Amino acid sequence: MKEVKFTLNGVPQSCTREDNVVLLDFLRKDKGLTGAKQSCDRKGQCGACTVIVNKKAVRSCLTKLSSLEGAEVITIEGLGTPDNPHLIQEAFALSGAIQCGFCTPGMIMSAKALLDRNPRPDTDEIKKALARNLCRCTGYKKIVDAVKLAGKFLRGEAVPRDFMPDERAGTIGVSLPRPNALALATGTGLFTADVKHEGTLHLAAVRSPHAHALIKSIDTSQAEKLPGVVSVMTAKDIKGTNRVRPDQPVLCEDKVHVLGDAVAAVVAETEEQAREGVLAVKVEYEPLPVVRTPEEAVDPSCVRVHDTIPNLCYTHPQIKGDAQKALADSHMVVEEEFSTQLIHQSPLEPEAALAYFEEDPENEEEPQLVVIGRSIYIHYHLKVLQDALGWENMRYQQVFIGGQFGIKMDITAEALAAAAALHVKRPVRYVCSLTESMWITTKRHPFTMKVRLGADRDGKLTGYSMDFTVENGAYVSAGQSIVNRALYMLSGSYNLPHVEALGKLVYTNNAWGGAARGAGPPQVNFALESAMELLAAKLGMDPLDFRLMSSVQPGQSISTGQVVDEWPYPHCLETIREHYERARKECAASRNGRLRRGVGLAGGSFGIGRGGPDRSHVAVELMPDGGLTVYGSVADPGEGNDAMLTQISSHLTGIPLKEIRLVTRDTDRTPDSSSASGSRVTYMSGGALVNAIEVLKKAMDEVGAKSYADLVAAGKPTKYLGTREAETTFLDPKTGQGAPFESRVHGVQMAEVEVDTETGEVRLLKMTAVVDAGTLINPTIVEGQIEGGLDMGAGMALRERYVHGETKDWVGSRFPTIRTAFDMEIILLQTPRRRGTLGAVGVGEFVLLPTAAAIITAIQNATSGDRICHLPATPEKVLKSMHKGGSPS
């Protein structure tokens, strides 16, 4: 321990700390500077904590405070503020480089260190400088663009206002910076772990080391005696149902179902004391046989994961016409089995929650419990918490969300923190490690799919059958919905007159699946697009032309029997044709050497909404100053929903953007806009906003009001609720027929790869994506969604695989880095949708549908080997695919 003197953002510091204290903890805990984030358990893997020390970008989680004698330290807070931002911060905001914003402060600090020493970096130099900074949202393209733009600003070649859209351009179809961008760029946007509350206790969970075991006893006595430990909770201390899902306890009562299940929670004065308390809790387990695979699980002799529910816990058929007969009568049939892997959605922000009481003037007996967290469905999760914990007077308060990709359709840390706050009647904070976050969150479900696809002599599709098994893992979460959603979009973009499918959901003792960007359709679309490619080859047809002639046309039906009245997919295919022809020529020139290039196409069509009945509420209030406040639980985990709400509001009311205010994060202050899932927010909540403004305008017209004062003088309310209700149905449980969506987003993607035929390594050179999401409200944001989705899809195709208990950090999960980033070209088409919000639908999840199939086709095109049917396409599988007769799995 020694005294260290240094400057922090120009202010002299003098402090004495233990030798192992790192700069990140000093900044966040001692100084309250939370712009530097913690994601990777202080392993130096994510760069979210990057600051500048003596002009170099360093990871503050690895930098010992004791090493800083005489150093000059600059953090994101030392660069600028939302009102007076640094030029680099403005460049990030203007380039659309900020989605969830969790990585942004670290990115900006790395960029600053680079630009200070090299004012004109090229792409490779930027990639090298940012190589230690991870981003899950953007696919890195706009981050590279932002650094280049910042260079221009810093060199005096341009100023930020040159890149602001002209006000005369209006607010629809205009790439305005997101309203929240500068808060995130300056590190002032608070994420859950950044929120401080006085007198807060800390929670650590006792988690099962077994995948399947009976809990024989829990002895908390030693832990309770430890210094600082306030309480040790077990399931009996929870007063409600103790369930966050019907089959998933907050704290396990008598059995654990998966490695990492929580069995007790220690609440203590400090994090360290809570963790020490965890080590002192003695749990006696009786291990049970572990159900490891779906095949094992459905064997009649297999032990049940949940005693009262069969392991085969859900099935859903789909029958349209007579697929078996159609396939039997077909000229050509391809038959293949495909599989996709378990993947962690990998939001950069670890799980966290804070719960505390606020006095309720209306209820002296029952104060209000405030739960702060990162849910994307706050009204539903409020209800879940109320039921699980047996406390009604509760409010869910969302803060900034560090990425989600479906994972935040489930709550995790919130339930334990809230349960503990209720138990000890004090504020409780629970911030999980990255490893723990991986243990307690949902994953992308692995699918195995047996497929048959047939065509007649003219290449016309005849029939399609698919049996798919979804490994559920230990809890259902959204599992049933995943099966349903796979059926909603089973026939992809194509006219398949006869379809037969059966989806099965099977419990195992593995990590459990949940909502994951696309949630089912990316898996089944991989199989369908692969089968389309195999069938085109068998028929000797051009893959693009085959897709074009197979497309659904308005008036035809999809696999659910729903007849569609708009289907702009063919236009997407025609648009990519010239790019495809260019790429084919280029690839043909490199077919003989060690490094061979290949090109692949795949398409997709994605239904917008929750699937089946869907409703959203948004309210607007005309304010005394002439501004407009928009109320709705419209989560924005990075998609830019803040821009969507403000741009639509301004467009429809003429009120300037800066006078549109959003209230979106608090269950007390918002109507229920449902979830930020299913790519539904623009369509459903944007639609509810349009309706609310219409109702407001009607009320004003009725009394001839032109202003707030006129409305008030006429005795009219100033706040109006809008509703958007989808005219959709669930599927018939026996036939799988129904009308789950009103509208869809369509697109086609082209992958260009280079395969090292000696090592099997695949380098993704470029993805070209044509997407028609209807009217564009903010083109840069739409582009950003597509770019990030392409990067995630490439991870699914080539690298990512989560192994529960083994995958513990970002290196292990093979998180995509800027080093694996590839060239992208995004082509946006705009066919306004009849029922869209000003013609717009959504885009965020669709992107993942075609990517894996396009990349796998490109690999096969490069190697002329067998098709890889089982993801991910690791170098070993690529090499195997090149040996004739070898199994490419």
Partner 1 sequence: MNPKSWTEEIAEKLAEESGLPELNELQWETVRFLRTYYLANGKAPLNRDIRRETGMNLLEVERLFPGGIRHGARRLAGLPNPKSC
Residues that bind partner 1 (CB under 8 A): 245, 360, 362-363, 377, 379-380, 383, 392-393, 409, 478, 481, 515, 519, 610-611, 613, 615, 617-619, 667, 670-675, 677-678, 721, 723, 725
- Of 681 and 781, which CB lies nearer to partner 1 in the complex structure? 681
Cβ partners under 8 Å of residue 351, min gap 6: 374, 412, 413, 431, 432, 436, 437, 440, 441
Question: Least distance in Å: CB of 27 to partner 1?
Answer: 38
Question: Least distance in Å: CB of 363 to partner 1?
Answer: 5
Q: Which amino acid would we find at residue 800?
A: E
- Of 210 and 379, which CB lies nearer to partner 1 in the complex structure? 379
CA 126, chain centre distance (Å): 26
Task: Estimate the crossing angle of helix 779-798 against helix 141-154, to 10 degrees.
Answer: 130
Question: Least distance in Å: CB of 392 to partner 1?
Answer: 5
- CA-derived radius of gyration, the chain: 27
* Residue 643 · residue 804 · CB < 8 Å: no
- Of 18 and 392, which CB lies nearer to partner 1 in the complex structure? 392
- Of 199 and 715, which CB lies nearer to partner 1 in the complex structure? 715
Question: Least distance in Å: CB of 383 to partner 1?
Answer: 6
Q: Could you confirm whether 845 is annotated as catalytic?
A: yes
Structure tokens, 776: 């564009």
- Of 126 and 515, which CB lies nearer to partner 1 in the complex structure? 515
* Residue 445 · residue 470 · CB < 8 Å: yes
Count the alpha carbons within 13 Å of 324 in the hemisphere toward its beta carbon: 4
Question: Least distance in Å: CB of 622 to partner 1?
Answer: 16
- Quick one: three-class SS letters along 532-591? HHHHHHHHCCCHHHHHHHHECCCCCECCCCCECCCCCHHHHHHHHHHHHHHHHHHHHCCC
Residue 361: CB atoms within 10 Å? 7
- Of 503 and 568, which CB lies nearer to partner 1 in the complex structure? 503
Pairing state of beta strands 498-507 and 595-607? unpaired
* Residue 268 · residue 202 · CB < 8 Å: yes
Q: Which residues pair with 51 in a beta bridge?
A: 58
DSSP string computed for 165-222: PPGGG-SSS--PPPTTHHHHHTT-SPBGGG---TT-EEEEEEE-S-SSEEEEEEE-HH
Question: Least distance in Å: CB of 368 to partner 1?
Answer: 8
Question: Least distance in Å: CB of 668 to partner 1?
Answer: 8
The active-site residue, picked from 77, 90, 529, 845, is 845
- Of 666 and 756, which CB lies nearer to partner 1 in the complex structure? 666
- Of 178 and 316, which CB lies nearer to partner 1 in the complex structure? 316
Cβ partners under 8 Å of residue 366, min gap 6: 360, 391, 392, 393
Q: Nearest 5°: phi and psi at 114?
A: -65, -50
Q: 3-class SS at 394?
A: strand
Cβ partners under 8 Å of residue 79, min gap 6: 85, 86, 88, 89, 108, 109, 112, 186
The single residue listed with the structure tokens 């024989």 is 216
Question: Least distance in Å: CB of 759 to partner 1?
Answer: 41
CA torsion 307-310-316-317 (nearest 10°) is: -170
- Of 181 and 619, which CB lies nearer to partner 1 in the complex structure? 619
Question: Least distance in Å: CB of 163 to partner 1?
Answer: 38
Question: Least distance in Å: CB of 379 to partner 1?
Answer: 5
- Of 459 and 473, which CB lies nearer to partner 1 in the complex structure? 473
Cα–Cα distance measured from residue 96 to residue 189, given in angstroms and rounded to the nearest whole number: 17
Question: Least distance in Å: CB of 791 to partner 1?
Answer: 24
Q: 3-class SS at 832?
A: coil
- Of 555 and 715, which CB lies nearer to partner 1 in the complex structure? 715
Q: Which amino acid would we find at residue 88?
A: I
Cβ partners under 8 Å of residue 765, min gap 6: 597, 752, 753, 754, 822, 823
Pairing state of beta strands 744-756 and 201-207? unpaired
DSSP string computed for 430-479: EE--HHHHHHHS-BBPPEEEEEEEEE-TTS-EEEEEEEEEEEEES--TTH
* Residue 385 · residue 421 · CB < 8 Å: no
**Distance of CA 359 to CAs 251, 362, 393, 686, Å?**
28, 9, 11, 34
Cα–Cα distance measured from residue 320 to residue 387, given in angstroms and rounded to the nearest whole number: 40
Question: Least distance in Å: CB of 172 to partner 1?
Answer: 25
- Of 623 and 721, which CB lies nearer to partner 1 in the complex structure? 721
Q: Which amino acid would we find at residue 578?
A: E
Q: What strands lie across the sheet with 352-358, from one edge to the other?
A: 229-233, 262-268, 201-207, 428-431, 352-358, 368-373, 394-398
Q: Which residues pair with 620 in a beta bridge?
A: 630, 720
Q: What strands lie across the sheet with 595-607, from one edge to the other?
A: 595-607, 744-756, 762-772, 823-829
Cα–Cα distance measured from residue 462 to residue 452, given in angstroms and rounded to the nearest whole number: 11
CA torsion 584-590-595-601 (nearest 10°) is: 10
Question: Least distance in Å: CB of 449 to partner 1?
Answer: 21
Q: 3-class SS at 859?
A: helix
- Of 409 and 769, which CB lies nearer to partner 1 in the complex structure? 409
Give catalytic residue positions: 845
